[in-house]
Amino acid sequence: MSTHPPIAEVLDGAVDLHCHSGPNPFAREFDHVEAARDAQRLNMRGILVKSHHHNTVMDLLAMRRELADITTPVFGGVAMNAQIGGINPYAVAMSLRMGGRAVWFPTFSSRQHVENEHHGFPESDIEIPNRIVDVVDDAGELLPEVFEVIELVQESDAMLSVGHLEPRESLRVATEARARGVRRMVMSHPDFVVDAAPELCESMADLGVYIEHEIGMYDPEGYRKWDPDALVEWIRRIGPDRTVLSSDLGQRGRPMPVDAFQRVGLELLARGISVPELQQLMCHNAAFVLGLDAARPAPVAS
């Protein structure tokens, strides 16, 4: 018999840092407005919409009238893939100055992503040209533009994601960002595409980086159906105070984020994650990363 409150009550005020709603050249199940309406079901404090191809702040400004009456705010940002010119401080500055809350280092244009034999490109409605976007030069040194981007993120107190970079490059970028005062950092799905060992993730977390896992991978009605026990192992290894759970949903034919949040939340509670830990994983940590809370949340007791 359940000893916790209803899951919708437990997750009231959740935050999603990884929503792939449309418009997008990849097929999407719903757009940003529909994502925001869905988020209202959990009284979500915010969602961050991500595109691999363009600055999503532009989308949100175009949709502002449709979003005006929705209680869950939606935020955007820019990913530094080939489609915006790679490591492009000018595009980053524009996005941040228009209200962007996030900057992703290369995702599907990263060498790690392009050369990862276990990952195929999603189906697209159009042909999408791509090229590898590196963060280092031929001598293996971080490009000057990387430092310019880090400075812009620090000035805006925005979220910096290391994208799909090779793990050691992610650690180098995070180390430089931490040294320059960036407070809100994320490393996504270390066990998918990125292929980061737990030991490296611990080093990232020691720098203040949140290790993000995607509930779309662990949803029993989702599209990858990974073992939730593996997710619990990651949470226990890295710590709920240094982990964040996001949806990574929006792709055509896949679940709505709120449904996945609730199903995976129940799976974690059934495996011994406590209510306060689940709230830290799905609500409090992400609220800090998105800039909704000024201070990093304190750890909860296991």
1 lies in a domain?
A: no
Q: How many CB atoms lie within 10 A of CB 37?
A: 18
Helix (H, G, I), strand (E, B) or coil at 296: coil
| Residue 131, pLDDT score | 94
DSSP for 180-194, please give it. TT--EEEEE-TTTTS
| Rounded distance between C-alpha atoms, residue 168 and residue 281, angstroms | 25
Provide the pairing of β-strand 77-79 with 243-246: unpaired
Contact 3, 275 (CB under 8 A): no
Q: Are the CB atoms for 186 and 207 separated by under 8 Å?
A: no
- Residue 214 token pair: 């995607």
> Would you say residue 294 lies in a domain?
no
Is 43 domain-assigned?
Answer: yes
| pLDDT for 225 | 77
Task: Give residue 67's pLDDT.
Answer: 98
CATH number at residue 285: 3.20.20.140
d(Cα 63, Cα 14) in Å, to the nearest integer? 22
Domain extent, residue 120, equals 7-289
Query: How many structural domains is the chain composed of?
Result: 1
What's the Rg (C-alpha) of the chain? 18
With 0.85 as the threshold, say if the pTM is over it.
Answer: yes
In a domain, 302, yes or no: no
For position 3, what pLDDT does the model report?
85
Q: What is the pLDDT along the chain (302 residues), one digit of tens a residue?
A: 568 899 999 999 999 999 999 999 999 999 999 999 999 999 999 999 999 999 999 999 999 999 999 999 999 999 999 999 999 999 999 999 999 999 999 999 999 999 986 555 555 667 888 999 999 999 999 999 999 999 999 999 999 999 999 999 999 999 999 999 999 999 999 999 999 999 999 999 999 999 999 999 999 887 767 999 999 999 999 999 999 999 999 999 899 999 999 999 999 999 999 999 999 999 999 999 999 999 999 999 87
